[in-house]
Amino acid sequence: MNIEKINNAYIVDVRTPGEFSMGHVTGSINIPLNELPERIEELKSMNGKIILCCASGNRSGQAHRYLIQNGFNEVHNGGSWLDVEYEFINSTNNNN
């Protein structure tokens, strides 16, 4: 699995694989909300800031609370993947 660091952060999309396949932030990784417990070590191995996203911000909010409760400090709820994509595009274009 290729995990890409984007603007010094990992973007984790917690939607279902079907939703993810319909569109996602380029370079993001899909870890569905219901798979977080069994993939927590994978998230810990990222060693950096994690930005969570989903369709509306609800599931990413749940994922954020779960990860904070499990010792993550550098985790942020990005809300909708479209908002994260927009922020990524703007910050990338502003850095050129």
Asked whether 59 and 15 are in contact (CB, 8 A), the reply is yes
Distance between CA atoms of 77 and 69, rounded to whole angstroms?
14
List the one residue out of 88, 27, 45 whose CA is nearest residue 13: 27
Residue 54 falls in the annotated catalytic set:
yes
Distance between CA atoms of 88 and 26, rounded to whole angstroms?
9
Distance between CA atoms of 10 and 67, rounded to whole angstroms?
14
Distance between CA atoms of 44 and 78, rounded to whole angstroms?
18
Q: Which of 9, 43, 54, 75 is catalytic?
A: 54
Please identify every residue annotated as catalytic. 54
